[in-house]
Chain A
Amino acid sequence: ETGVTQSPTHLIKTRGQQVTLRCSSQSGHNTVSWYQQALGQGPQFIFQYYREEENGRGNFPPRFSGLQFPNYSSELNVNALELDDSALYLCASSWTGGGYTFGSGTRLTVV
């Protein structure tokens, strides 16, 4: 059984650029959630996808968007990057009615 894998592990982008982060869900998991974790804070919920449809969203602007693919892998896209977008981005997958398994995250630095 494989866990949740995220890529890349680290990324540096310039303000105003766009970024795509990727997540491969744990085998058998059909739901994926994305979280943003600033340094020293708890993870903040961005959105969740279930069967390729967004079915929940936190307090994040529309420039944060996502996709879930038929194989349940997922992407997080962030447009017009701002300095405050620098954070650890976490992907978590689960199966219906089950708990979450988190990946190790992607550390994004916006300069």
Chain B
Amino acid sequence: LAKTTQPISMDSYEGQEVNITCSHNNIATNDYITWYQQFPSQGPRFIIQGYKTKVTNEVASLFIPADRKSSTLSLPRVSLSDTAVYYCLVGDYGQNFVFGPGTRLSVLP
């Protein structure tokens, strides 16, 4: 399973765009990149998933360069409620995700 590296913590202000970058140098051909959000004492919640280039949904965008060795989760105009831990995960369908410590995002007023 590909190992991921992401910043331990980030601070932002309400209304700003937040970009969290994840490194996954040994990503395999069949691996997808998935991001989860977790609030305290709750289970992780799926945000977005992609394989290459750009994926966008109603809450985030995911940018993946051609070499797929990194990815960037973009959260537009964050609010206080976006304060959470964000996990970058890499794996094929059916594999069990290896969670790292994630990125603790703090959104300030």
Contacts and interface: CB of A to CB of B under 8 A. Distances in A.
A62 interface: no
A42 B49 contact: no
Given A42-B100, A42-B102, A98 B43 contact: no
Interface residues of B, number: 20
Contacts of B44: 43, 90, 102
Contact of A33 (B42, B46, B96): B96
A90 B34 CA distance: 18
Contacts of A96: 93-94
A52 B60 CA distance: 36
Contacts of A103: 43
Interface string A73-111: 000000000000000101110001111111111010000
The 4 closest A-B pairs by CB, nearest first: A102-B43, A42-B99, A97-B93, A45-B96
Interface of A: 4, 31, 33, 35, 40-45, 48, 56, 58, 88, 90-92, 96-105, 107
